[in-house]
């Protein structure tokens, strides 16, 4: 399967090696975020905010799904992850391991993390549009879920969400289907 998917993407004019580098970097970011958000969820409970901890836990669950989906597509394109975890997680775009000292700093850190993820997936969607529909659809689904994560944080802060975002999906990765 990997060779066929790769050849199809290459015939469409896509530089697959460049795409794979970006997908691997995105996967590393998702894995780092998953790990970092486990710590932040526990930290938010220590700060006395169970609701924020629940939101972070839901985001974390979906980020794990994103990681799994990205890894699957990387291998479908005949790519591979680095065999060493340290070299994999030292890629750009990984989450900072610092723990915020205040509640406001924690929410700001989460909002900035979602902003970077949305920018990453916007660029990847633009790269694959019209070239690799399967990868584009996957990236667009992840992009939508990252936007929902951003909306959950806005909702937490008391900012009304955009009309298309609604409660009930949290933690269920509705666009990637897991």
At 57, which CATH number? 1.20.1260.10
CA 171, 165, 32 angle in degrees (round to 5)? 40
- Mean pLDDT, rounded, for 51-56: 91
In a domain, 84, yes or no: yes
Q: pLDDT at residue 92 above 60?
A: no
- Mean pLDDT, rounded, for 55-62: 93
With cut-offs at 50, 70 and 90, classify the pLDDT of residue 61: very high
CA distance 172 to 178: 6
Give the pLDDT confidence score for residue 169 in this predicted structure.
54
In a domain, 123, yes or no: yes
With cut-offs at 50, 70 and 90, classify the pLDDT of residue 3: confident
Give the pLDDT confidence score for residue 178 in this predicted structure.
55
In a domain, 175, yes or no: no
In a domain, 117, yes or no: yes
In a domain, 36, yes or no: yes
In a domain, 161, yes or no: no
How many helices (H) and strands (E) in the chain? 6, 0
Q: pLDDT at residue 93 above 70?
A: no
- Domains: count for the chain: 1
Share of the chain above pLDDT 70, in %: 84
With cut-offs at 50, 70 and 90, classify the pLDDT of residue 164: very low
Instruction: Out of 60-74, 91-105, 127-141, pick the least confident.
Output: 91-105
Q: Are the C-beta atoms of 6 and 77 separated by less than 8 Å?
A: yes
In a domain, 177, yes or no: no
- pLDDT tens-digit series, residues 97-133: 567 777 778 888 888 899 999 999 999 999 999 999 9
- Mean pLDDT, rounded, for 153-175: 65
CA distance 129 to 134: 10
Specify the pTM: 0.85
């Amino acid at each position: 399967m990997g060779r066929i998917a790769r050849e199809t993407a290459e015939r469409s004019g896509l530089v697959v090696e460049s795409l794979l580098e970006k997908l691997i970097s995105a996967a590393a970011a998702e894995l780092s975020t998953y790990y970092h958000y486990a710590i932040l969820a526990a930290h938010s409970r220590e700060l006395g905010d169970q609701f924020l901890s629940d939101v972070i836990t839901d985001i974390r669950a979906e980020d794990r799904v994103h990681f799994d989906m990205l890894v699957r597509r990387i291998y479908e394109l005949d790519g591979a992850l680095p065999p060493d975890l340290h070299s994999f997680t030292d890629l750009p775009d990984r989450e900072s391991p610092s723990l915020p000292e205040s509640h406001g700093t924690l929410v700001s850190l989460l909002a900035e993390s979602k902003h970077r993820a949305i920018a990453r997936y916007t660029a990847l969607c633009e790269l694959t549009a019209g070239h690799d529909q399967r990868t584009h659809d996957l990236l667009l689904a992840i992009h939508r879920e990252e936007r929902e994560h951003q909306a959950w944080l806005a909702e937490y802060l008391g900012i009304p969400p955009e009309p298309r975002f609604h409660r009930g999906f949290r933690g269920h990765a509705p666009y990637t289907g897991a």
